[in-house]
Amino acid sequence: MIGEGSVLNWVREHRMHHKYSETNADPHNATRGFFFSHIGWLLVRKHPEINEKGHTIDLSDLWADPVLRFQKKYYLLLVPVACLIIPSYVPTLWGESLWNGYFVCAIFQFVFVLNITWLINSIGHKWGSKPYDKNINPVDIKPVSLVVLGEGFHNYHHTFPWDYKTAELGGYSLNFTKLFIDTMAKIGWAYDLKTVSTDVIKNRVQRTGDGSHKEWGYEEIHELSQEKIIQD
């Protein structure tokens, strides 16, 4: 619906973003500036190192999925249907004009959601705190978390990329994405969810954090949940 490329392409670029973070082989390398990491990377030819190192990314897990192969094969047909035609048409069911549907639910939605998503690559690599690893650029930033449905804990995500929560705490208020994955897990559509133990996080915070972990109130929240477990 948002035209961010097929899942197969998206995941390849995302895995490169983690493996070669903030080098020329990172598709939205934030060291090339705010504008480049936000939208500029989509306006210019890819850096040659991206093509050189692209083949080192293993996507066999995704290629094994027939739904993803279907989406990649018919992507150019699926995008106008899902991104323009359906959002424009649906509001006409309750009497809106087709033009209103087109400008608000298709075009505005498209521009707005893309820019919100890109915030993770631009602001999320620039202004905020680094509770887990002060030696990397990605930051944790609460206001961004609100609008990006749980992706704003980017310092955490780059430090522990295998944690499905993409955040230390499991609350849903700032993390709609986790709520979605948990719901899918309940009905069996998501499984083998990986996470990180509190001890591993604590050690890492002490070893490489910038000291802002306390300001976020994580310690108190952990103690409270620990007390609750004991009481229960």
Residues in the site for Zn ion, rule: CB under 5 A?
138
CA distance 105 to 109: 5
Closest by CA to 178, choosing from 164, 192, 190, is 164
Q: Least distance to Zn ion from the beta carbon of 212, Å? A: 18
Query: Helix 66-73 crosses helix 7-19 at what angle (to 10 degrees)?
Result: 100
Which of 35/74 has CB closer to Zn ion?
35
Nearer of residues 109 and 177 to Zn ion, judged by Cβ: 177
CB 167 within 8 A of CB 174: yes
CB of 125 to Zn ion, least distance (A): 6
Smallest gap from residue 99 Cβ to Zn ion (A): 37
User: What string of DSSP letters covers 173-219?
Assistant: TT-HHHHHHHHHHHTTSS-S-----HHHHHHHHHHH--STTTTTTHH
Residue 153 C-beta: closest distance to Zn ion, Å: 11
H or E stretch including 5? none
Listed residue (27, 6, 5) closest to 16, CA to CA: 27
Q: How far is the CB of 83 from Zn ion (least distance, A)?
A: 23
* Identity of the residue, 131 or 138, whose beta carbon is nearer to Zn ion in the bound complex: 138
Q: Please, which residue, 88 or 133, has the CB nearer to Zn ion?
A: 133
Give the residue with the Cβ less far from Zn ion, 15 or 222: 15
